Structure 1
């Protein structure tokens, strides 16, 4: 019988608590859904891997290393589960690594990230709407995306537009739409209080510092300066069973050959 494995690949995080609640929880869900596969972990961020090794003494593989180890162990069928949110720079790194190792396996495939097709967007928009559906007038949820210089930066603006009329808003730390764009939208809608949450797999550095801190340039401080009370919710997307299921559905599709 051919040896089969799944590599769950994410950007990673240096925050151990959210790593366990998000990435770890999603990996556990994948293991339960695919009990006849061995599940491994890889992070695409070189900085995150280095800091974890320095601070925790834990060595986490990049995708190339993980694939090399699986080939050496005799695995023949490998599925790479991307836990990235958008098809941006980090996801391209995963695809490049797979291309370098494709001749080492009889089968190797990668899932698309969380947001790739129109159906993906519709499912996530429905999820986001449900998180704010019962909030009273004057309150909303503001989701913080990472942002990117890659053309996939349009993902965040698309989500923000698709949520028009709901009590949910999407901005990005490193691209468009930024916090100033969202402040204008919130003020126009008469929002006086927002619950800020990361639109990221984990509640890591950006969530703690750029979103929730008291630093002058944090989203919390900028909102406060504009008359909007901001309450941080440090809960990454990976904590939600609904999001875990979205990833698992993608994996089911590529294993069945539907993608």
Structure 2
């Protein structure tokens, strides 16, 4: 049967070979070699044990530092079940260890896709293993990473695999997903990958309308409404500037977009807010989830959080801790992207 891969960006295959050589040795040389080998093995074992102990200690310290409640993990559906059937819709997300947000955002997107595609079994995969490990250690909830999810699909005899990432943009991580899925192209009869949230101009317009409508109760002419995105070093970081330009062009001059790890920075946003003479600031994440970045980098009490920076300038600040996945219009857009992927293989 001819295999089809509807969206493929290429594979890089790296191969390495190990070679060895040997010859006759004297008795003393053999003893020295044996002694050296024993010492090397002991050193390696000690190093491995030390590394494992350090990792365990770091994990324990991390859990001790997490002295806030992220919600009940038992309410979340990790969607790692077998008995998938021939058709699977695999939803891939970066992930979050904040249990309530995971359920209300990623979980809500998965639920919307399950309702829209009753002929497909919806399953979950996270790209961030550090989050997967943290949730497993803390809550004993098992979430597949991308490889585990793909292996599960293959083991279950899935023939048609539709993958819908929840990523905002076609950036580095989205491309990594495409490449990893490409390596499994021969494992299924058909594989297709849906587009990220912000792909077409229509996508941008609809997301703009969604976030403006979502925050209309705060739009009183005296309040600066600031959205915090993640940011990336890749060219795709331009989505934030594009969203800002669209908001400004459409008359939403009190709406501002910044990022945690790229530009525009919080300093760039603060400068614009000052120029506007606003009295109050509303902060909200421009992210699928309201996880660590939203709770700490945006709404945290440390002096370098967005909240603290604006408060230090005399603004009254309100933080809206909700991810884009909680917005019904955003979920509809993900469903439409998945529908376009499904339609491409019919």
| Secondary structure of the structure 1 residue equivalent to 2:261 | coil
Cα-Cα RMSD? 1.5
State the 1:89 CA deviation: 2.1
Q: Deviations over 1:196-242 (max 9, x none)?
A: 11111110000010000111000001111223221111001101111
CA distance in 1, matches of 2:293, 2:104: 17
Alignment correspondent of 2:177: 94
Q: Which has the larger radius of gyration?
A: 2
Matched, 1:196 2:283: yes
Paired residues for 1:111-122 under 5 Å: 111-122=194-205
CA distance in 2, matches of 1:25, 1:188: 38
Q: Which of structure 1's runs of 4+ aligned residues deviate more than 6 A?
A: none
Q: TM-score, normalised to structure 1's length?
A: 0.95
CA distance in 1, matches of 2:337, 2:287: 18
**Range with bigger deviation, 160-169 or 126-135:** 126-135
Q: Deviations over 1:83-139 (max 9, x none)?
A: 011112221221011111011111111111101122211111122222344521111
Q: Which runs of 5+ in 1 are unaligned?
A: none
- Are the equivalent residues in 2 in contact too, given 1:128–1:168 (CA < 8 A)? no
Matched, 1:161 2:284: no
| Secondary structure of the structure 1 residue equivalent to 2:183 | helix
| Secondary structure of the structure 2 residue equivalent to 1:163 | helix
Matched, 1:227 2:311: no
State the 1:46 CA deviation: 1.6
- Are the equivalent residues in 2 in contact too, given 1:132–1:168 (CA < 8 A)? no
**Range with bigger deviation, 87-96 or 208-217:** 87-96
Pairing partner for 2:229 from 133, 142, 145: 145
Decide which structure has greater strand share. Answer: 1
How many residues are aligned here? 258
CA distance in 1, matches of 2:175, 2:143: 19
Q: Which runs of 5+ in 2 are unaligned?
A: 1-84
Alignment correspondent of 2:99: 16
CA distance in 1, matches of 2:328, 2:213: 14
Matched, 1:123 2:220: no
CA distance in 1, matches of 2:316, 2:214: 18
Pairing partner for 1:67 from 139, 150, 155: 150
**Range with bigger deviation, 71-80 or 118-127:** 118-127
